[in-house]
Amino acid sequence: MPQLSISRRTRSTPFTSRLSDAGVKAYTVYNHTLLATVFRSLEEDYHHLCSFVQVWDVSCERQIQIQGNDANKLVQWMTPRDISKAQSDQCFYLPLCDQHGKLMNDPVGIKIDEQTWWLSISDSDILLWAKGLAYGKDLDVTVTEPDVGPIAIQGPLADTLMARVFGDVVNDIRFFRYKRLPYQGHEFIVARSGWSKQGGYEVYIDDASLGQALWDELFEKGEDLHVGPGSPNLIERIESGLMSFGNDMDYRHTPLECGLDKFCNLDSDIDSMSLPALRAQRESGIEQRLVGIVAEDITHQPNTVQLMVDDQEVGEVTSHIMSAKYFAWIAFAFIDQKTLYDLSDSQKTLTIRTEQGDFEGRISELPFNFDQLGLTSKTA
Amino acid sequence: MPQLSISRRTRSTPFTSRLSDAGVKAYTVYNHTLLATVFRSLEEDYHHLCSFVQVWDVSCERQIQIQGNDANKLVQWMTPRDISKAQSDQCFYLPLCDQHGKLMNDPVGIKIDEQTWWLSISDSDILLWAKGLAYGKDLDVTVTEPDVGPIAIQGPLADTLMARVFGDVVNDIRFFRYKRLPYQGHEFIVARSGWSKQGGYEVYIDDASLGQALWDELFEKGEDLHVGPGSPNLIERIESGLMSFGNDMDYRHTPLECGLDKFCNLDSDIDSMSLPALRAQRESGIEQRLVGIVAEDITHQPNTVQLMVDDQEVGEVTSHIMSAKYFAWIAFAFIDQKTLYDLSDSQKTLTIRTEQGDFEGRISELPFNFDQLGLTSKTA
Ligand SMILES: Nc1nc2c(c(=O)[nH]1)N[C@@H](CNc1ccc(C(=O)N[C@@H](CCC(=O)O)C(=O)O)cc1)CN2
Ligand SMILES: Nc1nc2c(c(=O)[nH]1)N[C@@H](CNc1ccc(C(=O)N[C@@H](CCC(=O)O)C(=O)O)cc1)CN2
């Protein structure tokens, strides 16, 4: 791995020096901000996350604040998901799409109040898109990037740890809901959410020094729970079917091609700029689809991967890893819709061509249903 | 330095494997794309750049294409620089500013033809801003990110090397002009530009495999010129007064605060969204300004730096380095306008407070005029 040159442009966070003290090994850059990727090793970090509780610095998930009389209007315009019934304690996974139905980002949208949304963005500058739209249409909104980013508390012991810090009230927070909980005279937004399927919370840090106090308290009170530093884990997120904007899908794709249909309310009577294009695509049919792939015979992560049927390349792998739980190679890939039909109709199989040789692969819907695939956990 | 985790989201370029073969030591991420920062060491790379010729992979300077009947209108709207007399063989350094006069980016704008601009952007997603504005105002333009990025040929021997590959015609290209030059049956846009003050060219690579052929030919034909791989060099760019968006200035600053006045035609009769705000700021005066600082007594790069006058902090350093040419510490910094007046009026000096102790610093206009500062080159 090459080294990363850090500068002001690759923004640090209130927690960067803590990660450094904790021995962070590698970073990526996400929304112009440092995001840790590895502490011990991908595998060790994975097993720790699935067994105990981790605290993640995901400050790089920047908040784009849309505030004003037209806030609901602008957010609805950007997403094909119907937000007309959103409550002011709810979070929503929101595909954002342009007039061609193409994905611009896939934030978690947090409804703060009737006039305010936060878009907790993935890696593209939605600040600029929202500003352009608002100015172009002369909307009554202010679009800013307040200095707010989440920390995530994830893992099976997250409930226990968070209750020690915030009280049992955290148990009452339902999935993708939030509460404002007091902390040292301040109130933090605490949501049950996070970019893993191990359960847990996100706390939106809008005060750096209180955030640092909270971080330290989580580590103190969690010692017997084996709390440790962590970050979104490549193995866990692929096993869990969590897609990453910029890796698995980007400006070239529509949510229908990514299996995000359930977050698109195409039959709602809402004013959203992508609706005509997405309805037309639903009508005419999609040409490619993001699916899962499993290959049990691959035992070591390959470097190069091609997807072949009858010696023709039929798609492109977007993310892949050795599953630490099932000891199988798992991947996300875009595959031609025609190939998907042919494969399910015929007895043909998908060939995974690697530098280690050819292997047989099976297509799976996302998220993976490992039971149905006949795979059993190899961990305790 | 920590390591960088590379993924599809941190896009590779047609030249990434060549950089790897050449032993690149570190990268940064710029426009979601890998940008090399160091090959041998910052100092060795600097001396090589100033003595010979380097080829840089600056594909991360993505092109945002604005095409259509309203292309000139949209670009003019985004920049306070008057582009009404732009010719179709010209490049322009263009501050892009919102309705508050704040910088959104500072690309090189390339006028391709009467209906087409490329904005060769620094590190923010201008694609999204331009799309938002165009859609909001219903302009007759298409905004895309074509797969085009420059390679730069920089250094005193760049003229010689480029003439060997493209012919003597390259010598006729004036600063910030371009020609379309034939290469293996294709035409590349070749401009006299680049992010150093060592002279040279940029070739906009719109065909990856021809770009790779050109790259290899530059290295073959430049062997006796000691051609080598390189990248924008932190020492050279600070000595040369080249500011970096995201490092030295960002969304919080106006071009007037950054000394970019000469790229703002505030008295022109143009339709630009930032003009009213920038005119108002010219009227009311700016509160801070980006200036240069020189401290000859600092002999080793400090880790922490504060700018003090009478024990009060008076500004913020944005970039700093030991000058390899003058053996002095040089920096860019935002300083309160009031402090700047006081310092030039009084006999007071600026104190550079570092972990090594306090040092005296002098304010300089940008670009630095080292002669006037009484500094002499310590290199041959
Ligand atoms: N703050 C916060 N911000 C974020 C992320 C996050 O992680 N948390 N992650 C990135 C956005 N992408 C996702 C993708 C999936 C989910 C997710 O959690 N999905 C659930 C539920 C979605 C729903 O029901 O609405 C699922 O089961 O797929 C959350 C953010 C960037 N911003
Ligand atoms: N393709 C290209 N694209 C770029 C850069 C580049 O380097 N080349 N660099 C970044 C943009 N920033 C600058 C800053 C300064 C200059 C520059 O060169 N300025 C000259 C002249 C400006 C003028 O006269 O218009 C000067 O003397 O300051 C160019 C790009 C990102 N995109």
Q: What average pLDDT does this structure show over B50-56? A: 98
**Largest pairwise CA distance in chain A:** 65
Read off the pLDDT of each residue in A285-308 and give the average, rounded to a whole number: 97
CB–CB of B239/B43 below 8 Å?
A: no
Tell me how far apart the alpha carbons of residues A135 and A119 are, in angstroms, rounded to a whole number: 18
Q: Which amino acid is at A165?
A: V
From the CA of A259, the nearest ligand is 1
Q: Which residue of B has its CA nearest to A125?
A: B125
Please identify, by atom number, the ligand 2 atom nearest to the C-alpha of residue B241.
Answer: 28
Tell me what pLDDT residue A309 has. 95
β-strand pairing of A26-30 with B3-4: parallel
CA distance A183 to chain B (A): 30
Q: Contact B246/A32, CB-based, under 8 Å?
A: yes
Say whether A1 and B2 touch across the interface (CB within 8 A): no
In the numeric block, the tokens 């795979």 are attached to A375
pLDDT digits (tens, 9 = 90+) for B310-347: 999 999 999 999 999 999 999 999 999 999 999 988 88
CA of B93, closest atom in ligand 2: 25
pLDDT value at residue A67: 98
Which residue, judged by its Cα, is nearest atom 23 of ligand 2?
B93
Q: Whose CA is nearest to atom 20 of ligand 1?
A: A93
Query: How does pLDDT run across B362-376, given as a tens digit for each residue?
Result: 999 999 999 999 999
d(CA B143, CA B127): 7
Dump strand ranges (E) for A31-185. 33-38, 54-57, 63-67, 91-93, 96-97, 103-105, 108-113, 116-120, 142-144, 149-154, 178-183
Check CB contact under 8 Å for A27 and B131: no
pLDDT band at A132 (very low <50, low <70, confident <90, very high): very high
- Checking if the pLDDT of B79 tops 90, the result is yes
List domains and CATH numbers for chain A: 16-60+147-238 (3.30.1360.120), 63-137 (3.30.70.1400), 287-380 (2.40.30.110)
Name all residues whose Cβ lies below 6 A of ligand 1.
Answer: A 61, 92-93, 106-108, 120-122, 150, 176, 193-195, 202, 242
Alpha carbons within 13 A on the beta-carbon side of A359: 22
The rounded distance, in Å, linking the Cα atoms of B292 and B241 is 8
Question: Tell me, what's the pLDDT at A1?
Answer: 83
Residue among A124, A318, A319 whose CB faces B128 most closely = A124
Q: How large is the average pLDDT for residues B103-123?
A: 98
Question: So what's the pLDDT on residue B379?
Answer: 85
- The helix/strand/coil state of B9 is coil
Is pLDDT above 80 for A248? yes
What pLDDT score was predicted for residue A344?
87
Q: What percent of chain A has pLDDT over 90?
A: 97
What residue owns the CA closest to ligand 1's atom 24? A93
Closest residue in chain A to residue B137, using alpha carbons only: A136
What local confidence, expressed as pLDDT, does residue A345 receive?
87
What is the spatial distance between Cα B282 and Cα A235, in angstroms, rounded to a whole number?
54
Cβ distance B173 to B158 under 8 Å?
A: no
Cα–Cα nearest to B191, from B114, B95, B91, B93: B91
Residue type, B69: N
pLDDT digits (tens, 9 = 90+) for A135-166: 999 999 999 999 999 999 999 999 999 999 99
Task: Give chain A's radius of gyration (CA, Å).
Answer: 21
Q: What per-residue confidence (pLDDT) applies to A364? A: 95
Average pLDDT over residues B192-197: 98
Question: Is residue B95 within 6 Å of ligand 2 at its C-beta?
Answer: no
From the list A97, A27, A106, A100, the residue with the least C-alpha distance to A64 is A106
How distant is the Cα of A319 from the closest Cα of chain B, in angstroms?
A: 8
pLDDT at B167: 98
> How far is the centre of ligand 2, averaged over its atoms, from the C-alpha of B121 (Å)?
9
Residue B380 has pLDDT above 80, yes or no: no
With the most atoms of ligand 2 within 8 angstroms of its CB, the residue from B83, B108, B148 to mutate is B108
Report the pLDDT value the prediction gives residue B1, as an integer from 0 to 100: 83
Whether residue B104 and residue A128 make contact (CB cut-off 8 A), yes or no, is yes
A292/A350 Cα distance (integer angstroms): 12
Reply yes or no on whether the pLDDT at A380 is more than 80. no
pLDDT for B346 equals 86
C-alpha span between A18 and B185 (Å, rounded): 55
- The whole-number pLDDT of residue B347 equals 80
The tens digit of pLDDT for each residue in A161-206 reads 999 999 999 999 999 999 999 999 999 999 999 999 999 999 999 9
Q: What is the DSSP letter of B81?
A: S
Q: Is the dihedral of CA B154, B156, B159, B165 positive or negative?
A: negative
pLDDT for residue B272 is more than 90: yes
Residue B86: partners with Cβ closer than 8 Å, 6 or more residues away: B72, B92, B109, B111
Taking residue B82's Cβ as centre, other Cβ atoms within 10 Å add up to 18
**Percentage, residues of chain B above pLDDT 90:** 97
Contact between residue B254 and residue B275 where contact means Cβ atoms under 8 Å apart? no
- How far is Cα B121 from Cα B132, in angstroms, rounded to an integer? 17
The band of A17, judged by pLDDT with boundaries at 50, 70 and 90, is: very high
ipTM exceeding the 0.90 mark: yes
The model's pTM: 0.98
Contact B202, B162 (CB under 8 A): no
Query: What was the pLDDT predicted at B367?
Result: 97
Distance from C-alpha of B138 to C-alpha of B221, rounded to nearest angstrom = 50
Which atom of ligand 1 is the closest one to the Cα of A191? 1
Whether A152 contacts A65, CB under 8 Å: no
- Strand ranges in B15-123 using DSSP code E only, listed in sequence order: 26-30, 33-38, 54-57, 63-67, 91-93, 96-97, 103-105, 108-113, 116-120
pLDDT score recorded for residue A37: 98
Q: Round the average pLDDT of chain A to a whole number and report it.
A: 97
| Interface with B, mutate which of A33, A39, A131, A250 (most B CBs under 10 A) | A131
- Confidence class of residue B106 from pLDDT cuts 50, 70 and 90? very high
| Mean pLDDT, residues B121-136 | 98
- Residue numbers in the known binding site of A are 202
Q: Which residue has the tokens 């890796």?
A: A247
Q: Cβ–Cβ contacts within 10 Å for residue A268, how many?
A: 15
Q: Known binder of ligand: residue B220?
A: no
- Report how far residue B165's alpha carbon sits from residue B144's, in angstroms, rounded to the nearest whole number: 31
Of A5, A128, A247, the CB nearest to B8: A247
In the numeric block, the tokens 């002009």 are attached to: B177
Q: How high is the mean pLDDT of chain B?
A: 97
Count CB neighbours of B41 within 10 A: 10
Can you tell me the distance from the alpha carbon of B278 to that of B284, in angstroms, rounded to the nearest whole number? Answer: 10
Question: Contact at 8 Å (CB) between A313 and A320?
Answer: no
Q: Distance of alpha carbon A352 from its chain centroid, rounded? A: 26
Confidence at residue B115, expressed as pLDDT on a 0 to 100 scale:
98
Bind-site residues of A for substrate: 202
- Are the beta carbons of A8 and B246 separated by less than 8 Å? yes
pLDDT above 90: residue A375: yes
Interface probe, candidates B1, B6, B7, B9, chain A, greatest A C-beta count within 10 A: B9
Q: Are strands B200-205 and B149-154 parallel, antiparallel or unpaired?
A: antiparallel
Query: A344 is written with which tokens?
Result: 């399910």
Q: B296 alpha carbon to ligand 2 midpoint, in Å?
A: 28
